[in-house]
Chains A and B, each alone.
Chain A
């Protein structure tokens, strides 16, 4: 079972560059979300989606865009990377929103120089 797959695992960007972090799940989950994890801050919600075609902002959405054209995929775009976006990014999915069991990907470690 693949579960939640994130690519790439590691990425280094220069300030101002753009990139897309990929996330795919094969569990037919309606709810998908993106978090960033920083030391001493826990996991903070960036954007989430309750189903294909529907996205919404989380706690820290600035500088990130998302789209959900299919149930399986939920890419996160950084339009103009900044050093403050250096972090570990996790994609998660669950059957529905709220306190349902979340399945996390292995993460993408991003450094912005």
Chain B
């Protein structure tokens, strides 16, 4: 059983559509990160959220940390083919503890 469950596992949409991917847990995290990974490359950090209810925006990407710090979401507005990739969430249960990764959401944006 994964400590962090991501959904959906796969998502294929058309350019211009909006989408939301989720990262859920029954455990509380002191912080949560989102990474994007492209084929043949390692994950690259997009954002870190640390406060319950926090919302961060990165251009067309909006990240939210749940009030109880057990879940997070990533919303993409007007998706573009360049958004295609594997999106991973990763959480730390306490400051200084190891990161635990979710299994990822594979997003494909078709032109």
A: number of interface residues (CB 8 Å): 22
Bound together, the chains give a CA A96 to CA B31 distance in angstroms of 15
Knowing A58-B98, A99-B31 touch, does A40 contact B43 (C-beta < 8 A)?
no
Q: Is A74 close to B, CB under 8 A?
A: no
Say how far A50's CB is from chain B's closest CB, in angstroms.
Answer: 10
* Per-residue A-contact encoding for B29-58, CB less than 8 Å = 1, 0 else: 011010000001111110010100000000
User: Would you call A4 and B95 a contact (CB within 8 A)?
Assistant: no
Main secondary structure on A side of the interface with B: loop
User: Would you call B95 and A98 a contact (CB within 8 A)?
Assistant: yes
In the complex, chain A residues whose CB is within 8 Å of the CB of B99: 45, 98-99, 102
User: Would you call A97 and B96 a contact (CB within 8 A)?
Assistant: yes
Which residues in chain B, 9-36, are within 8 Å of chain A measured between CB atoms? 9, 30-31, 33
Closest 4 CB pairs of A and B: A104-B42, A99-B92, A98-B96, A42-B103
